[in-house]
Chains A and B, each alone.
Chain A
Amino acid sequence: MDLLDYAWAGVLAVFQGPVLFSIFGLSISATIAMVLFGFLNGIFVGATPGLGGPMAMAISLPILISIFGFSSDALLPVMGCLIGIMKGATVGGAVPAILFNTPGTPDAYLTTLDGYPMAKRGEARRALKVAHFSSASGDTFSDLVLILCAPFLATLVERYLDLPEKTALLILSLSFIAAVIGGSVAKGLLSAGLGIFVAAIGTGEDFYPRLSLGTDMLAQGFPAVAVILGVLILGEVFRGLEDLARSGYGRPTLPGHAPPGPPGNDKIRHLPWQDRRPLLPHIARSAMIGTAVGALPGIGSTLAATLGHAAGKRRHARKAPDARAFGTGAPEGIAATEAANSAVSGANLIPVLSLGIPGNAAAVFLILAADSIGGFNPGPAVFRYNQDAVNPELIIAFGLFATMLLANLINWTVGGTVMRSMAIMTRIPKHILLPVVLMLTLTSIYVQETRMAALWFVIGFGILGYVMRRLDISPLPFVIAFILGGRLEETARQAYAATGNDPFFLATSPISAIFVVMSISVIVLAQYRRPTTAS
């Protein structure tokens, strides 16, 4: 099979895969239905302040697995649904930002600066259309870059990197993630180190279970789903509950929640071309910034939005001094922000698919899905096609690309309409939302793990996640290090053995030596950057 055959097989796997149901003799593929379901769900959670894409992905993953099972047929429907949620949430985040000055997702904060002033002028509908147009454009661009780059990068890695270099590359990614995520380098390293430590429990090459304190409960290691959902989701819920308790229960809406603008007198049906044209340069610039930022693991969409907005602001002030400035309700401001934060979602799958390294929470859940179901191990081996045997992983990879393009198609066609109907979500009070999330998370973990120990683990890691948040330590390096810890150990052991037990295997080849030097310098250099908030 050559590459085009694989691409076509991937598309067929999406459209002719397992059938969910059929109406009037027309069978509906489960993957298509799940992408649509995930996308609508994503807009829904994105538009709900306090919820977000990662949270929805986390809760739905175990439920989806229990529906679709562990066979490799389940990969595309489950991962398609998660991708749909990821994309939908990016679009949905702009809704409350524009209408109520409350970002639905953290990366939509900058959308409030221009979106809410537009809504106050009575141009809410127009602002939403601008946000959707920019978001969908940025997202589509980013996906195309992913599809072109990931196979290329993976082939490059396979061809030129030997075991010591692969080890060094993992070390570099971990140190980069620890250095750039969160408030300080020390806290990032602490978080990542803790993640590697937890990954070391109950694993390892020896027959004796490591660090298990002689207990059977720890001998199997921690179930990945309990660790990740505990730290990322329960930690967030616990912190939300405490915030709620401090600010007094039962407040109907969130603090900082502004009244909605006057009812729209801008009953435009389509955004006219003369409105779209001035947005295009901003969208193009921000899409490129977002894609570049997304391709680096760990930086995330908030920084992409900040950079996109700042670049757009400078340019806008110089090129169009007479137009409305950024921050006073300029549609260009919304475009620059939304295109940038949406362009992150496709590009952050570049390191996932080509190297197996997750860069943000959404990618963490995609890797978790692949690990739990089995039959697809994201990494450079996926894109190998020089054998005569069919490589089923490559078909899945192209299937994933097809689901992303499908999600974009849904976004372009119905996304805008659905998005504009989501204003109601902002009114859900947190004291109802958080317990529901808590219960859903615990239920979904029990569904997948079916042992009580998993629930104790998840609550334990939830408390850890809460403490980390209180100490302003980002939990994301912890989770990513937890996922990569096993691979790092394995690759390092293999590199050591392969070089004839050379303890300095990281320093002997030029490429790995460069990676190690880069790992150290990224830590050193990050000390001098100005502090940013955790994303």
Chain B
Amino acid sequence: MKPLLKRLVAAFGVSVMATAGIAADWTPPGPVKLMIGFRAGGGADTQARLIAEDLETRLGWKIIPEQVTGKGGLTLATALAEAPADGTVIGMLVTESLGYNMAAAKTPLTPADFTALTTTASFQMGIVAPASKGWTAWDQMISAAKDGTPIRFGVMSPKLADLAYLLGQSQGVDFNIIEVKGGKAVLDGVTAGDMDVGFMAGIQTNGVAAGDLVNLASAMSRPLKQTPEAPAIADLGVPFDADGYFVFVAPKGLPDEAKTAMSEAIAQIVNDPESKAGTMIGKAFGGPAVISGDDLQTLLQDGYDAAGGLLEAASE
């Protein structure tokens, strides 16, 4: 393994299975359907398609990407749970789908109904405003809101809507929270002036670098890589966060050799800064964040179990 990759991995404090090479002894028994839980054209969808492309060129697997969107990833989860567990169907979601969304929807499904393969990148979840608003810091937006300017807050999931609501509560303002589908829709809304501020999970990187957008705050438990000086959501009085990862999962009962081969193949691609997917992840999400195996399975289960707290806080 290259030293550079080791540093990247270590920086995230996550473990990667030792990979001497991609397990060549397992190949999918047919074309692999890759269900993508995100709208076409956004950052997550691009990432999934690039990974599919790299898998095809590197390993000769045939990957068929397919959009299975809706219900915060639960449409995909429901379809995936019923798919054959032989490596011919996998899905790409965010950890939130199997955590908050699955708990809030009260479906019979839990993370235990899936085989966790690997995460690829973590969100760089910022609270982003267009530069044209003239706000350079979080407090300026809040004082504008207190002066009576209605603030339209774009969010792309019910969990983020809860967070925005709690943020408003802790800051003493009322946001008009607009829920749209996908981070691209938030970016479009903010750019077109339909929204004043919104959550963006990495898609804002280019715009912030170009000076068109401003990261007002980090919605994570840690600062944003691009704008480390922006306050984190905990500093703003909300004891919850939007930490999360893009994650590949398969149906429950995937044979171990298939699980190892697939998660290693995906991990190698995202960890390689030269691959198309790796390049894109480096640009949009500040580098890969790979968690796989039992660690990932535990992470998913913990997220599911912890969802109740936020649900309760937001419904008070």
Interface residues of A (CB under 8 A from B): 69-71, 158, 162-163, 202-203, 205-209, 216, 219-221, 373-377, 380-381, 384, 387-389, 393, 490, 493-494, 497-501
Contact = CB atoms under 8 A, between A and B. Distances in A.
Contact of B70 (A203, A373, A380, A493): A203
B104 A207 contact: yes
Contacts of A71: 49, 53, 65
Given A375-B40, A393-B41, A207 B105 contact: yes
Contacts of A70: 64-67
Contact of A497 (B65, B158, B177): B177
Nearest to A157: B192
10 contacts: A207-B71, A207-B72, A207-B106, A220-B75, A220-B79, A374-B40, A387-B210, A388-B207, A498-B176, A500-B174
Contact of A221 (B65, B70, B178, B188): B70
B180 A384 contact: no
A494 B74 CA distance: 22
Contacts of B207: 387-389
Please give me the 3 A-B residue pairs with the lowest Cβ-Cβ distance, nearest first.
A374-B40, A207-B105, A388-B210
A388 B206 contact: yes
Contacts of A202: 70
B101 interface: yes
Given A70-B64, A377-B41, 13 more contacts: A203-B70, A205-B179, A207-B107, A207-B158, A216-B82, A219-B75, A375-B41, A384-B188, A388-B207, A389-B207, A494-B179, A500-B174, A500-B176
Interface residues of B, number: 45
B52 to A, nearest CB: 9
B152 interface: yes
A54 B34 CA distance: 31
Contacts of A375: 40-41
Nearest to A502: B176
B179 A493 contact: yes
B297 interface: no
B75 A498 contact: no
A373 B36 CA distance: 13
A376 B41 contact: yes
Given A71-B49, A494-B178, A500-B150, A374 B105 contact: no
B178 A497 contact: yes
Contact of A389 (B82, B104, B206): B206
A387 B181 contact: no
Nearest to A377: B41
B176 A388 contact: no
A219 B206 CA distance: 37
Nearest to A219: B78
Contacts of B212: 387-388
B209 to A, nearest CB: 8
A205 B104 CA distance: 13
B136 interface: no
B191 interface: yes
Contacts of A373: 40
B203 to A, nearest CB: 10
Interface string B239-264: 00000000000000000000000000
Interface of B: 39-41, 45, 49, 53, 64-68, 70-72, 74-75, 78-79, 82, 101, 104-107, 150, 152, 158, 174, 176-181, 188-189, 191-195, 206-207, 210, 212
A119 B103 CA distance: 72
B67 A374 contact: yes
Q: For B40, B177, B181, which residue has the most chain A Cβ atoms within 10 angstroms?
A: B40
B194 A498 contact: yes
B192 A384 contact: yes
B41 A490 contact: no
Contacts of A381: 188, 192
Contacts of A209: 71, 75
A247 to B, nearest CB: 44
A384 B71 contact: no
B296 to A, nearest CB: 23
Contacts of B194: 162-163, 494, 498
B242 to A, nearest CB: 18
Contact of B210 (A158, A380, A389, A490): A389
Q: For B39, B105, B152, B193, which residue has the most chain A Cβ atoms within 10 angstroms?
A: B152
B174 A497 contact: no
Contacts of B174: 500
Nearest to B203: A389
Contacts of B72: 207
A216 B191 contact: no
A388 B74 CA distance: 35
Nearest to A70: B65
Contact of A498 (B105, B107, B178): B178
A185 B297 CA distance: 57
Given A70-B65, A70-B66, A384-B191, A374 B41 contact: yes
A499 B174 CA distance: 12
B192 A498 contact: no
A202 B70 CA distance: 9
A219 B77 CA distance: 12
A4 to B, nearest CB: 21
Contacts of A490: 180-181
A225 to B, nearest CB: 13
Contacts of B75: 209, 219-220
A68 B188 CA distance: 28
Nearest to A392: B41
Nearest to B75: A220
Contacts of B49: 71
A514 B28 CA distance: 58
Q: For A158, A374, A387, which residue has the most chain B Cβ atoms within 10 angstroms?
A: A374
Contact of B74 (A203, A207, A393, A498): A207
A498 B151 CA distance: 8
Contact of B180 (A158, A219, A374, A494): A494
B210 to A, nearest CB: 4
A220 B174 CA distance: 34
Contacts of B189: 494
A490 B174 CA distance: 22
A373 to B, nearest CB: 8
Contacts of B66: 70
A185 to B, nearest CB: 33
B176 A499 contact: yes
Contacts of B40: 373-375, 377
B186 to A, nearest CB: 11
A110 B177 CA distance: 54
Nearest to A210: B71
B280 to A, nearest CB: 13
Contact of A207 (B101, B177, B180, B188): B101
A509 to B, nearest CB: 13
A497 B154 CA distance: 10
A490 B194 CA distance: 13
Contacts of B158: 207
A389 B43 CA distance: 13
Nearest to B194: A163
A497 B192 contact: no
Contacts of A216: 78, 82
A499 B72 CA distance: 24
Nearest to A163: B194
Q: For A71, A376, A380, A381, which residue has the most chain B Cβ atoms within 10 angstroms?
A: A381
